[in-house]
Amino acid sequence: MERDPSRVVAFSDAVIAIAVTLLVLEIRPPQDSRHLVHGLLALWPSYLAYVVTFMLIGQVWANHHVMFDQIRTADRTVLFLNTVLLMDIAFLPFAASVLSQAFRDGQGERVAVVLHGITFELAAILFNVIWAYARRRPRLLVTTIDVAGARAIGRRFRLALTWIAAGTLLGALVPALGVAVIAAFIPFYWLPIRGETGRIGPGRGPVDPV
């Protein structure tokens, strides 16, 4: 049975909204108000984890809309894969909290960066799986996307796999460098995807298997 994806998107938006809200709750105010400025400055790992994770989740949200703008019906497999994606997103506030705590304590930074990176890498994998599944089933896609648009979206999602994996691996060696590489992904990934709004031309179908 295929369903209108609008409910999938609405539910996903709600989960993502809760996840980004939980991020700020992990930033605890300094206990010593007599040295408040110093205490606030000492929270820089929490600010860093908050900003990087918030912006990356924002990218997940934006590209989730890009993907589901092109999916006109959602079958049970799409619902399941999207649920796993949301489960991963809901885990991100914990990963961000571990990251900030590790940098604040000066211990366990490598493990924390790898955990944070793997969580986003899993999200990237699920994006690729959902999109690949939908592309191979033309009945699931809108008729206004052409082959170029489908490929452009696929290329962007595959790039996320490589970029985040590289940052995660570097983070296992040099934690600060790993965070920097992953953070560098933020401005690039907000760029529009070329061809995502392309229309079908004469003799072309909406998808191809490559």
Condensed to tens digits (0 to 9), the pLDDT of residues 157-193 reads 999 999 999 999 999 999 999 999 999 988 877 777 6
Residue 11 has pLDDT above 50, yes or no: yes
Residue found under tokens 């079908």: 200
Tell me the pLDDT band of 203, cut-offs 50, 70 and 90. very low
Half-sphere exposure at residue 4, Cβ-oriented, CA atoms within 13 angstroms: 3
pLDDT in tens, 73-115: 899 999 999 999 999 999 999 999 999 999 999 999 999 999 9
- CA proximity to 57, closest of 193, 186, 154: 186
Residue 209 has pLDDT above 50, yes or no: no
Question: What pLDDT, on a 0 to 100 scale, did the predictor assign at position 143?
Answer: 81
Question: What pLDDT, on a 0 to 100 scale, did the predictor assign at position 32?
Answer: 77
CA 170, CA 161: separation in Å to the nearest integer? 14
Residues sharing a CB contact under 8 Å with residue 11, sequence separation 6 or more, in sequence order:
86
Question: What pLDDT, on a 0 to 100 scale, did the predictor assign at position 210?
Answer: 43
Average pLDDT, the chain: 87
Residue 3 DSSP class:
B
- CA proximity to 187, closest of 55, 89, 65: 55
Question: What pLDDT, on a 0 to 100 scale, did the predictor assign at position 39?
Answer: 86
8 Å CB contact between 117 and 182: yes
Supply the pTM of this predicted model.
0.85
8 Å CB contact between 138 and 205: yes
DSSP string, 135-193: HT-GGGB-TT--HHHHHHHHHHHHHHHHHHHHHHHHHHH-HHHHHHHHHHHHHHHTSPP
